[in-house]
Every structure is written in structure tokens, then in C-alpha cells.
Amino acid sequence: MNEHGLRLFDPRKSSVWRLTLAFAAITAVTLLLAIILIYQLLLGEQSRQVERRLDAEKTRIEALASEFDKGSFFQQLDVFRNEGEILIFWQSEYEQSQQLSFLPDNIPALPQTIVFPVLDTGRGQIRLLTTGKVKTHHGDIVLATATEHLQRLIVDFKSIASWTFIIAIVLTGLFGYLFSRRHLRRVNYFNETAEQVQNGDLSARLSHKNKGDEFDRLAAHINTMLDAVEENFALVQGITDNIAHDLKTPLTRLKLNIEKRLEDQPQMGYELEQLNNIINTFDAMLKLTRLEHGQFPLKLETIDSSQLTHDVCEILQPSAEQNDQIICVNITSPWQLNGDRNLIFQAIFNLVENAIKYAGKGATITLALDEKSLSVTDNGKGVNEQDLKQLTKRFYRSDPARQHEGFGLGLATVKAICNRHKLNLSLSSDNGFCVKITND
């Protein structure tokens, strides 16, 4: 992932955010259970008491109805009416006992009840009545009890419970989001440092507090690990530098001596050329290894890619002409590229040189450039599918006889240069061979 991607990483994709969601769900369920439990223990019990009272009254009235005749039954009811908290209404041909101006038609038979509001003119307030009917053979009797306190409690409880629920969930989500952002920032810091190391800066370290949390401990561990890696690396580096030094001093002697003898013995030129080949292969391998391991610091600058393209073409034109080949340069628009001028030049050079070597006599080599890609295409015999994957490996050459001059490091070096510049390299072979470098 590139640096840009890391910075824009969405906090909602972090593991902490997923944990937050899970936690929010658990909180929601727990809260819901708690609310239901409290409701049942406090308010449910009171509701049931009201029901029980109405039920007891119902039983009494039914008993009265079966014991007395109609007249005595209503007289008894008149007595009861003034005794308890239960209000009793009825309608009959003898008398209409009704303290209320209005009774709804849809009052159900007990134990079912409905709640409706009435205006108590005596007290000048609205009261809520829980009512139900008792059916007797003397007629329907309506029982009611005032429950406005209970109803108000239920309404208040419901509203408080829903607000508590909403606020708890929102707070959980909000804190989870903030935590995951903070968490991500720290993880990103780790990622950036890792990337720095990956790019060859082994001196990169994570800053942390000594007493700190799990992140600080992780940072401390990573730092210790990097110290060890850097130390080993320096050791290996020292060894390769020493090898290079120890090897190059005698090579210098040899080269200087052969060159000296060249004046008298021109045939020594062949030996000198062989020696130069050895040295060049050695240097190319060292360079490739350093590129691949990020030990090759880039000298970054804005590159005039069309100038580079023209230069490569100009240098290699005579070589192409020797093979009756034509190099076409096709620049749609220049590619604004930030990179190491010498390395990018080498990459383009290697690609065109390869095309000259392998496309065959009379081929046309096209160097195309637009604002975010560069491609080198030839119309030669191309490369088969298997070779295509192997081509960027070092020392791989598709001609088994190795007739062409070179070390088989050309494309491997191009690949390493592209990787180092975070550019994308793709090979294809439809008609001829095409290599494309793009800025992804």
C-alpha cells in the first residue's frame, strides 16, 4: 500500500471500529434487558395489582348477581359504590347510575381492559380510567379505577428509557470512532516507519514513552529488532564493501598492468576486454543487488522524460540502423516524473537496447510516451507466455545458446529501478514484444 493510501485509511475499516460495533450491539441488548426487567419489577407489578383489584370486584359482583334478584342487586351495588376505590357504573331500565357524562362503547369484558381519559368536573382535572365490563344476567356492569399516576409513570419511564438507550448507543459509537481513529493513527505511524525501513532507511525508529501501553511496548520491541537488523546489515555491508575493496585493489593492479603492456603488445587488448567484461558483470550484479535491497539511494529530481527518450533514441539509433531497424518516437505529452535521472535513463536504455538485440532485422521499435506511461514496443517475433514471466529474473535469457552479448541483467535491472520508483512494469506479447512502465 502506498503512503497516500495509508494516510487516507478509513477509521471505519479498523478492527477497533468492528469491536466498537460488536460492543454497541452487546450494550444495546444489555440495556434493553435491564429496561424490560425494571419495567416488569416496578410498573408491571402495579399494573397487575390494578388488574387483580378489578378481578376481585368482578368476582364479587358476579356472586351478588347470582344471589339477589335484580332490584336488590342494584341496591347492593349502590352500597358498594361508595365503599372502595373501584368505581361502578351500570345502565338499566330502573336507574341509570352514571357519574360520567360519557362511556365509550367499546369497553371489553374483564379481564380485558381499556384506558380512557375523562374530565373530573369535581376536581377539575383529567383522569385516566382503566375500565372493563362484567356481564351479569341483570345487565352489564362497568368497573373502573383511576390509574393516571401509573399511566404517567409508564409514559415517563418509556421516554426516559428510550433516551437513555439512544444516548448510550450514540456515545458508544462516538467513542469507538474516536478510539479507532487514535488507534489507526498509531498503527499508521508504525506502517509509515515500516515503509521507511522497506525503502532502505534502516535508521528509522519508532518514538515511544518508556512507561507506556501495549503500543509503546510493541514499538520498543520493533526498535530492538531494527537495531539488530541494522547491526547485522552493517556487518554484511562491511563484509561486501571489504570484498569489493579487496577484490578491486588487485583488479586495479591487473588492469593497470595489462594496459601498460598494451603499448608493446596490442594483442593484450583481448585480455583487457575480457577483464572489463568481468568487472562490468560484477558491477552490474552489485548495482542490481543494491537496488533490490533498497541500498541504492535515489537522487530525486523532476525529470524531462521526453528529453530522456530522445537521448536514448539518439544514442541507440546507429545500433538500430546496423540491424536495419527503425526507432519511432511517439510523444503524446511529456510524463512529469520525479526520479533519479541516471536510473530512469538506464531503464529506458535497457528496454530499447533489448528490443534492438531481440526484435530481429528490419523490425520497427516504437517508443511511446504519454502523461503517465512509457512503452517500448517492437514488431519482432515476440516472446512466449512462459518466458514472459521469467524475463525479469536475473540471468534469465530466452535464447538458450546465449548468442547475444549481455549478462541477462537488463530487464531485472529495469524491474528493480521501477520498484524503487514505485512504478509499475508490465510485459506483454501480442504482436511482437511490449514493455510498459506506468505510474499507478
Partner 1 sequence: MKLLLVEDDQQNREFLYKAFVEQGYTLDCAEDGQQGLMLATCEHYDAIVLDRMLPKLDGLQVLLALRATGKTTPVLILSALDKVDDRVTGLKAGGDDYLTKPFSFSELAIRVENLIKRHTFHAPLTTKINLANLTLDYSDQRVDVNGKTLNLQPKEFKLLRYLLDHQNKLVTRTLLFESVWEYHFDPGTNVIDVHIARLRKKLAEASAQLEIETVRGVGYRLKANVS
Binding interface with partner 1 (CB under 8 A):
241, 244-245, 248-249, 251-260, 262, 266, 268-273, 275-276, 279-280, 283, 286-287, 290, 295-297, 299, 311, 314-316, 318-319, 322, 341-342, 345-346, 349, 353, 405
Cβ pair 142, 150 in contact under 8 A = no
Cβ closest to partner 1, residue 81 vs residue 248 = 248
- Give the angle 231-236-238 at the CA atoms, nearest 5°: 90
Q: Residues 292-322, buried b or exposed e (16+ Cβ, 10 A)?
A: bebebebeeeebebeebbeebbeebeeebee
Closest CB 249 distance from partner 1, rounded Å: 5
Find the shortest distance in angstroms from Cβ 403 to partner 1.
14
Q: What's the rounded Cα separation, in Å, for the pair 87 and 146?
A: 8
- In the complex, the smallest distance separating the C-beta of residue 390 from partner 1, rounded to whole angstroms, is 23
Q: Residue 38 to residues 13, 42, 44: CA-CA distances in angstroms?
A: 37, 6, 9
Q: For the chain, how are helix, strand and coil distributed in percent, rounded to 5?
A: 55, 15, 25
Q: Is 188 in contact with 28 (CB distance < 8 Å)?
A: no
Q: How far is the CB of 405 from partner 1 (least distance, A)?
A: 7
Q: Is the peptide bond before 11 cis (omega within 30 degrees of 0)?
A: no
Closer Cβ to partner 1, 113 or 309, answer by number:
309
Nearer of residues 27 and 295 to partner 1, judged by Cβ: 295
CB of 293 to partner 1, least distance (A): 12
Other CB atoms within a 10 A radius of the CB of residue 402 amount to: 10
In contact, 427 and 433? CB cutoff 8 Å: yes
The distance of closest approach from Cβ of residue 270 to partner 1 in the complex, given in angstroms and rounded to an integer, is 7
Rounded to whole angstroms, how far apart are CA atoms 401 and 382? 18
CA dihedral 116, 117, 119, 125 (to 10 degrees): 140
Which lies closer to partner 1 via its Cβ, residue 186 or residue 261?
261
**Smallest distance, Å, CB 316 to partner 1?**
7
**Three-state DSSP state, 329:** strand
Q: Which residue number, 205 or 341, has a Cβ lying nearer to partner 1?
A: 341
Query: Cβ closer to partner 1: 80 or 282?
Result: 282
Sheet strands side by side (includes 373-378): 326-331, 364-370, 373-378, 433-438, 424-428
Across-strand partners of 134? 141
User: Minimal distance in Å, beta carbon 3 to partner 1?
Assistant: 22
- Nearer to partner 1 by Cβ, of 193 and 346: the residue is 346
Q: How far is the CB of 250 from partner 1 (least distance, A)?
A: 9
Question: For partner 1, which is the closer residue by CB, 152 or 260?
Answer: 260
CB-nearer residue toward partner 1: 237 or 366? 237
